Structure formats: structure tokens, C-alpha cells
Amino acid sequence: MFNHIALKTLAVLCKSLATMLHAGVPLLKALDTLSRKTGDERCRRHLGDVRQAVEQGVDIAAAMRDCRGYFPDLMIDMVHVGEQSGTFPEVLDGLADHYENNVRLRQTLRTMIAWPAIQLFAAILIVGGLIWFLGIIGGAGAGGKPVDILGLGLVGTSGAVKWFAMSLGSIFAVLGGYYIISRVFRQHRFLDSLLMRIPVVGNCMRSFAIARFSWAFSLTQQTGMPITRSLDSSFRATGNGAFAGSSQDVQQRVMAGDELGTALTDTNLFPEDYLQMVEVAEASGTVPETLKRLSPQFEDQARRSLSALAAALGWAVWMAVAGLIIYIVFNFFSGYAKMIFDAGNGKFPGD
């Protein structure tokens, strides 16, 4: 079971807390109300712990950090800045918008990849069923030899089991390998850098990351967060290992006196037009406002890339299924043609 708060729960929490604080409800009472209203048992327990710590004089950001990873680092950093700057409700509004947008993006992604995934698994199930069925009825044919539709020696029940193990096992092996490399060995930077080299996939990932970076940097700068912490929080907000891995280098360049646009250029992660707009905004002192305006533009671009990715996946799965069907039909009839030819020469399968 994951220890962190669910994204949808987090969005509701930020929005509800911001609404109550704007209405003048005291923080302790607001936390108490939220802990009683939420249907998530873990969230209720952690909110209760936060309320108890705040009642004892602990800052709410420190109380959230004591929950051992349940609340995301970005939220904790922003809450701390909001407390220090007196803009806590406004920060919560911004966080609510951010997390609500992430929820919508996840729902969009799941909707778009659902049909290709259904096609793929349906094809796997159908082929497995054919292997089993033709293997069963094939035993009653001439010579008692089942039909091998794939030409891989997969027939009957054992063949169907091997087919499912190979096909489904390969899918789960890829997903499991990604999880192990990214979570256990913490190689998000390597994996995301690799994925960003793939056409369409890379454009989608890059656009999402830049949109999130722009939003986070704009919000953190508007609340007065120091530049190094602002950059660190903004790069981590991207959810992209390649971007997060560049955070330290950018911070060092900026602290050494380089302009932000120059430091971002050296990461090779941001497009040229984006960097040019950052440079212009730096000259006019309007970087937060400019990045806030750019964020939704890159979100729209990411959605278009996501639509293209889903369409490409759909076509790839369809072509793979069509190719498999053609191969099965060809292999099936070529096998029977061989049987007829052998029978015409006085031979029978198995002789």
C-alpha cells in the first residue's frame, strides 16, 4: 500500500481548506472539520496528527513533514512559504488548481489508452483461446496431430498457458522493470531521459514537465520563496526525473550569477522559444507573470501530444493485431495445404 496521499484527495483537501480559511474559519477548526469529513481513513488520521501538532505550537508545514511522506514535498514547501508570507489561503488555491489539473490529466490519459489496451488484451485472449480450442479438437483429426496456429509448438491447454505466460508475462516484466529501476534503484533521471528521446512520447512528457515547472516557479516566486528553493520545488513539481535531475546544476549556475534563461539553456530540456521568452521576461522583471501565462499553453500542447500518442498507440496495436491475424490465417491454411499435398503423395501427417 502506498504511503502518500491520493491525488484526488489532495486536490479536495487543498480546495476545502482554502475555502474555509478565506471564509475566516480558524485553522484548528478547519483541520478538525476536514478530518471528520474525509472518507479516507489514513487522511483522517494524518489530519488529526497535524491538528494536534499545530495546537501544540508547531508550524503546519513542519507538522505535515512529520507525517513521513504522506504529504508531497511541493505542498509542504508551499505551505511553509504561505505561512511565512501571510498568503496561506492563496497558496492553497494555487495548489488546489495544480492538483485538480493533474487529476484531469490522469483521467484523460487513462481514457485515451483504455481502448488500445482493451484491443491488446482481447487479442491475447483470443489467440490463447484459439490455441486451446484447436489443440483440443485437433487431436481428433487425421493422425491425431493438433493444429499449431503460431508455428511455435504451442498447442492445447499447455500451449495456451505458455502463450499467456509469454505475452502477459512480457508486459508485466516491462512494467515491473520500470518500477524497479525507477523506485528501487531511483533511476528516474535515466529512464525519463531515455523516454523523452522517443518521438511523440518525448514531446508529451516535455510539454507536461514545462507546464508544471512554469506554474510552480510562478507561484513560488510570487509568494517570495528564495530562488534556490523555488527552483528546487519547481523542478520536483514536474514529476519528470530528467528535469528534477537538472535542478542542482541550474541552482548552482543561478547562484554563480548566471541569468535564469542561460542556466535553463544548458539543461537542453527547454525549447528555444520558451528560453527566449524567459530572457525577455528577465529583462523586464516579469518572469513569474510570463511563466504563469505560458503554463496553460504548454498544457494544451501536452494534451495535443497526448492525443497523438493515444492515436499512435491505437494504430500500433491495431496493426500488430492485424499482422498476427494474417500470420495465423496463413500458417493455418499452409499447414492444411501441406497435409493435403502429403496425402496426395500417399503420405499422412505423422508418417
If you average pLDDT over residues 263-292, what whole number do you get? 90
Which residues, 6 or more positions from 201, have their beta carbon under 8 angstroms from its beta carbon? 195, 309
pLDDT of residue 212: 83
If you average pLDDT over residues 270-286, what whole number do you get? 91
Whether 223 contacts 81, CB under 8 Å: yes
pTM: 0.69
If you average pLDDT over residues 241-261, what whole number do you get? 91
Q: For helices 73-85 and 201-222, give the axis angle rounded to 10 degrees.
A: 20
* pLDDT tens figures, 139-170: 544 455 666 777 777 888 888 899 899 888 88
229 has pLDDT over 60:
yes
**Are 159 and 96 found together in one domain?**
no
Find, among 27, 36, 1, the residue nearest to 79 by Cα. Answer: 27
* pLDDT tens figures, 27-45: 999 999 998 888 888 899 9
If you average pLDDT over residues 110-126, what whole number do you get? 83
Backbone angles phi, psi at 87, to 5 degrees: -120, 35
If you average pLDDT over residues 179-193, what whole number do you get? 67
pLDDT of residue 141: 45
**Are 217 and 288 found together in one domain?**
yes
Tell whether 346 is covered by a domain: yes
Higher per-residue pLDDT: 316 or 232: 232
**Are 266 and 123 found together in one domain?**
yes
For a pLDDT cut of 70, what percent of the chain falls above it?
Answer: 89
67 has pLDDT over 70:
yes
pLDDT of residue 105: 77
If you average pLDDT over residues 73-85, what whole number do you get? 81
If you average pLDDT over residues 45-68, what whole number do you get? 91
**Are 94 and 121 found together in one domain?**
no
Domain count, the chain: 2
pLDDT of residue 140: 45
**Are 92 and 187 found together in one domain?**
no
Q: For helices 88-138 and 73-85, give the axis angle rounded to 10 degrees.
A: 170
If you average pLDDT over residues 331-341, what whole number do you get? 66
119 has pLDDT over 90:
no
pLDDT of residue 348: 47
**Are 38 and 173 found together in one domain?**
no
* pLDDT band at residue 183 under the 50/70/90 scheme: low
pLDDT of residue 52: 92
* pLDDT band at residue 62 under the 50/70/90 scheme: very high
For a pLDDT cut of 90, what percent of the chain falls above it?
Answer: 23
**Are 121 and 93 found together in one domain?**
no
The CA distance from 55 to 223, in Å, is 25
**Are 64 and 126 found together in one domain?**
no
The CA distance from 17 to 206, in Å, is 32
265 has pLDDT over 80:
yes
Instruction: For the chain, give the mean pLDDT.
Output: 82
Find, among 181, 303, 7, the residue nearest to 192 by Cα. Answer: 181
The CA distance from 302 to 306, in Å, is 6
129 has pLDDT over 70:
yes
**Are 130 and 270 found together in one domain?**
yes
Tell whether 107 is covered by a domain: no
347 has pLDDT over 60:
no
The domain boundary residue, chosen from 71, 100, 129: 100
If you average pLDDT over residues 60-83, what whole number do you get? 86
Maximum average pLDDT range among 59-63, 154-158, 320-324: 59-63
Residues spanned by the domain of 214: 116-351
Identify the CATH number of the domain in which residue 53 sits: 1.20.81.30
Tell whether 321 is covered by a domain: yes
The CA distance from 251 to 255, in Å, is 6
